[in-house]
Amino acid sequence: MKMKKLDKSVLKLWYLRASILALALIGVFVGVLAIAVAAGASEEEKLVVSCAAGIPIFLLLCITLIMPALRYQMYAWGYDDKRIIVKQGVIFRKRAVIPVCQIQDLHRTQGPLMMMLKLSDVTISTAGSNFDISTLTTDEADRMIDELERHLEIRVGEQKNEKI
């Protein structure tokens, strides 16, 4: 089975989300400093507060900004008439195999940013777990759902015949 990479616009979405998070982190840092100033902290105390809040926030910022690229690099997905395969993870790499015949229902979801970029998440529900494919272009997601539905009908038909 040929594994596909995610569309480039997905990286845009992940960076947009990362930027929002980064802004929030910077906001926290500024807030902490403002409180220190308002409380009349000395220069030394301000330095200590800056280091105490700044170092973890800087590390988090780095991770926030690096992760989308790494995640994008590692993410791959694919499906055929029998199975769906999703590969993901940066340090811990996970490969999940879901048989088409185990699909209960398929969901496509979009948030405001995703609507703007014409992207969608696809959730595959089975009798026990949900598996997400994040994130596909809306066209790709619709095509995938249609094809999987068709494969599912065929597989269920085949299995019924096998039982008979």
Partner 1 sequence: MKRFDKGYIYSNLLSDLVGSIVIFLFFFEEIFFEEEPNMELIVAAIPFFVIALAVIYLCFIAYRIAYYRTSGYELTETEIKCKRGVLFRKNSVLEYKKVHAINKKQSLFHRFFGIAVLTVDSGSTNTSHQAEIVIIEKNETVDALLNELNALKETGGRGTDVKTEAAQVLLSEEDSLYSFTSKRKILYTFITVASLALGIAVFAILTVAVLGVCKLMLQNGFLGTWGEFFIFSALITLGAVLMLSVFSFIGCMVRAFIGYHDFTVTKHGSDLRISFGLLEKHTNTFSYDRIKAVKISQGLLQRMLGFASIHLEVIGYTYETGSDNVTLGVLVPFCKYNEVGEILGKILPEYVPDQKQTKAKAYFPFVSWFSLILGIVTGVTLVLTLGIMWLCGVSATVLAVVAFAVIGLSLIILASELLSAALNYQTSGIAMNGAKITAYRGGFTRGVTVFMVKNLIAVANVTTPLRKKAGIATLVLHLKTNAQTNEVKVPIQEDTLAEKLEELLIL
User: Interface with partner 1 by CB under 8 A: which residues?
Assistant: 82-83, 89, 91-99, 102, 126-129, 131
Structure tokens at 123: 């959730």
- Closest to partner 1 by CB, 153 or 158: 158
Shortest gap between Cβ of 89 and partner 1 (angstroms)? 7
d(CA 50, CA 37): 11
Q: Do strands 119-125 and 83-88 pair parallel, antiparallel, or not at all (unpaired)?
A: unpaired
**How far is the C-alpha of 53 from the C-alpha of 58, rounded, in Å?**
9
**CB of 57 vs partner 1, minimal distance in Å:** 18
Tokens of 142: 């619709």
Q: How far apart are CB 115 and partner 1 at their closest, in Å?
A: 29
What is d(CA 11, CA 49) in angstroms, rounded to the nearest whole number? 34
**57 vs 96, beta carbon nearer partner 1:** 96
Closer residue to partner 1 in complex, CB, 16/69: 69
